[in-house]
A = this chain, B = another copy of it.
């Protein structure tokens, strides 16, 4: 029996995160005055120890012992050979996946929720606030806060709050509090409700509510937390790729292609960045971030300075963006419905170190269904986008007759998203056409914005 599953012994779990900022240069975030944002301007929002991590250029950053201890509930995650999927595709490619669905909330999100909760606790913070769209991030932060005795408040976009009641139940089971956004609890929420009492809400409004709730607590004991996009989030996720590299070394192998889906970019970066570092050092390897064709930031949108949120409260970040006022169509991979992309991932795309791919929604569900029926584990809708790119690459390997090694990030399971599969099976899920006018509108929006410089790391 060939080893289906490569398990890293627990005592060989990585003890440091890899910081890609040691290897690439980033344009700085800009404040309202067009000047770079200083760390203390972020102090009301994030604790200083995380802000320091956000701007650090140290290559290796120690993972604190109490964080390792909680991560070891489910880490190291297994690297698994998808031999049944290979057989169904009739490909000579060897497909491996890193199974991040084994965490208590079922996705990669707690890899950063746990250290974020830890650093907030260390800094003397007692309450954390955040927003959540489909619910994965809010669940992960609730779980992490339960481990460190912090209160957790999650503003969940109204439409998802109503459609996915199990997510709220999950957060409450871990002791978190979950309210529908817009809520009556913040000015941002009340303003949104005054404008439209029946609004379905948006991630932009929910972010504004969570930030407002954090900065307006006069005790100073509350901070906000973000689950993607920022540098320290990417940093925490690199444990995925560091483990994967060690696991490939255990079987004397190294991947030819690395694949992950990308919304804000964190699960992709988590698997890919350690391999990006190898690539910068001369390794030949192809690295694909995969996005929905209905929300194509990397494959279609310009590389610009834009706000991270819809209301424009955040600093300007250098990234691929469809414009902060772009509302992505209601595709089922809620975690990939974001107008921008992490600055680190955007920079690497701009430098040609990453090769972004876009896949359609039906392509994604078709791949997800084949996966479930061969490999067993039902992927989250987001994850199916990565799997669709795996199918394309496996078919290419077949045409070329090459025994390529492909590794994909299985960013989460779909057990709380089964309704989407049912709709796909009954033919209710179709592809969304992306209109060229969206790019024209974005370019018009950005005409007046500062432009990121063209930097080259390599």
A: residues with CB less than 8 A from B are: 1, 3-5, 7, 9-11, 65, 68-69, 72-74, 80, 84, 102-104, 106, 143, 146-147, 165-166, 168-170, 172-175, 369, 372-378, 415-416, 418-419, 421-422, 425
Contacts and interface: CB of A to CB of B under 8 A. Distances in A.
Contact of A415 (B165, B415, B419, B421): B415
B7 A11 contact: no
A10 B11 contact: no
How many monomers of this protein are in the complex?
2
A149 to B, nearest CB: 10
A348 to B, nearest CB: 33
B418 A373 contact: no
A332 to B, nearest CB: 13
A146 B7 contact: no
A377 B104 contact: yes
A172 B425 contact: yes
A74 B377 CA distance: 10
A20 to B, nearest CB: 27
A425 B73 contact: no
Contacts of A3: 10-11
A376 B173 contact: no
B422 A1 contact: no
B4 A173 contact: no
A151 to B, nearest CB: 13
Contacts of A104: 372, 376-378
Contacts of A173: 369, 372-373, 378, 418, 421-422, 425
B422 A169 contact: yes
A170 B106 CA distance: 16
A73 B418 contact: no
Indicate the member of A68, A102, A419 with the most B CB atoms within 10 Å. Answer: A102
A455 B3 CA distance: 45
Interface of A is mostly: helix
A418 B170 contact: yes
A422 to B, nearest CB: 4
B376 A169 contact: no
A370 to B, nearest CB: 11
Contacts of A10: 1, 3-5, 7
Nearest to A422: B169
Given A73-B376, A146-B373, A172 B1 contact: no
A390 to B, nearest CB: 17
A104 to B, nearest CB: 4
Contact of A1 (B72, B143, B415): B72
A340 B225 CA distance: 51
Given A7-B7, A73-B377, A102-B102, 11 more contacts: A1-B72, A4-B10, A7-B9, A73-B376, A104-B376, A143-B376, A146-B373, A169-B425, A172-B422, A172-B425, A173-B422
Contacts of A421: 169, 172-173
A163 to B, nearest CB: 13
A79 to B, nearest CB: 12
B7 A65 contact: no
A415 B107 CA distance: 13
A297 to B, nearest CB: 29
A415 B416 contact: yes
A74 B102 CA distance: 11
Given A10-B5, A11-B1, A415-B416, A375 B73 contact: yes
A4 B76 CA distance: 11
Contacts of A11: 1, 3
Nearest to A420: B169
Contacts of A378: 104, 170, 173
Contacts of A166: 415-416, 418-419
Given A1-B11, A415-B416, A376 B147 contact: yes
